[in-house]
Amino acid sequence: MIFLGLGSLGMNFWWGFQTGSMPLFLRSLTDSKFKISVVISLSGLAGCIVPPVIGYLSDKTRTRFGRRKPYIFLGMLGVFLSLVFLPHMTVFGIAAFVSGMMYFSLRVAETPYMSLLPDITPPEQRGTTSGVQHLLMSIGMISYFIASAMIWDKNPRVVFVLVALVSFAFSVATIILIREPDVLQEHRAPTMSPIRYLKSVMRETNALKFFAAQFFWWLGLSVGSYFLTLFVVEELNGTEGDSHLVLMVFAITATIFVVPLGMLGDRFSRKRILSVMLAFWAVAVFLIGYSQNLMHALITVGLTGVPYATVLGVGYAYMLDLIPEERTAEFVGLSVISMAVPLFLGPLIGGRLIDMFGYRSIFPTSSAFMVASLIALEFTRIPRRNDRE
């Protein structure tokens, strides 16, 4: 479990960089927040295009190195090379292109990596393995924010090299330390026309309602999270190094609460826990807009780490309650779309709002999306085949 989770640590070290430092880097090349948001949103666009293609190819690949490992290695190598070259780019258009290549490379590695868990983990241990992965993910993000807070103000280019080395090294460690199964059992679904397939998906209304709720909470998060460091620097007059502390507190809070909340979800109603936390999230993110200094931002952003931990620890389990057991992997794959599209739309909405109305406009907008998520969630109901809500 730990060997598998090392890849999560390395990739989330990169995601910490993407959330906290990429906006600061792009800010040095352009004053337009919308242009910054366009580049950031490419990660979501890549998440909509690459996963189904690479997932299909990975399933069909047969090499002596395995069917997942080659894609993980090549994808993370692309991320490594992009990060090495990126800080030397002085023209916004070229930097945007290199950033796009980095995002697409990460998605090439990410989908096969996520597929390793069901490949090598017995069904009765997948929940525990997922918990270990989320823990190491949080450790990776916290480690990044600590390092960037210490280094960024002194030499930002060192941060790029550090992210390149850590993300690549930990992914390679997973490749080396785990072994893919020699023989993988393939499950062949009966042939079905596209129309019949879509009808079969549309019949799972509770899963689709959950995907809608998930879409809105990730959209609410994406509208504001990518601009938090810029908000601290340009609106609250903090240093770029200090701005990373805000996201570090967020990550620490999420790390503390993710396991206890997951345990509560096993004992009590997952839907009720999610509902309460989404309402809390709407209030907490709204309050961020009233921050007057760094300390206020640390407190308000830190509070949002609790509902974020809830959607990680409880949201996935509740989704599994709603989807048909015989089509688990298929519907988990479909759920990726409701997470990737907000990563594309959220930064664009946030950047446009900032250019038009200023930073504080993004927080009530984010709050409104959380409310929409709560409303969509309330229409979900666990199908009768399951006996617990």
Share the mean pLDDT of the chain: 82
Burial code (b: 16+ CB inside 10 Å, e: under 16) for 233-257 equals bbbbebebbbbbbbbbbbbbbbbeb
Banded model confidence at residue 312, pLDDT cuts 50, 70, 90: confident
Residue 297 predicted with pLDDT over 50: yes
Residue 124 predicted with pLDDT over 70: no
Domain ranges, ordered by start, for the chain? 1-180, 194-380
**Residue 76, C-beta contacts closer than 8 angstroms, at least 6 positions apart:** 10, 105, 106, 109, 167, 168, 171, 172
Q: Which amino acid is at 55?
A: G
Phi–psi pair at 270, nearest 5 degrees: -65, -40
Note whether 23 and 227 are within 8 A (CB): yes
Tokens of 331: 């519907």
Mean pLDDT over 64-86 rounds to: 89
CATH assignment of 1-180, among 3.40.50.150, 1.10.357.10, 1.20.1250.20, 3.40.630.70: 1.20.1250.20
pLDDT: is 140 or 165 the higher one?
165
Mean pLDDT over 72-82 rounds to: 93
Q: pLDDT tens across 127-145, in order?
A: 566 667 777 887 888 888 8
The burial class, CB within 10 Å (0-12 / 13-18 / 19+), for 42 is buried
3-state class of 178 per DSSP? coil
pLDDT: is 181 or 238 the higher one?
238
At residue 98, the pLDDT reads 92
Note whether 149 and 245 are within 8 A (CB): yes
Say how far residue 174 (Cα) sits from the centre of its chain: 20
Say how far residue 333 (Cα) sits from the centre of its chain: 15
Mean pLDDT over 15-24 rounds to: 84
At residue 140, the pLDDT reads 86
Banded model confidence at residue 213, pLDDT cuts 50, 70, 90: very high
% of the chain with per-residue pLDDT over 70: 89
CATH 1.20.1250.20, domain 194-380, yes or no? yes
At residue 184, the pLDDT reads 47
Q: pLDDT tens across 181-201, in order?
A: 764 455 555 555 677 767 777
At residue 265, the pLDDT reads 73
pLDDT: is 277 or 226 the higher one?
277
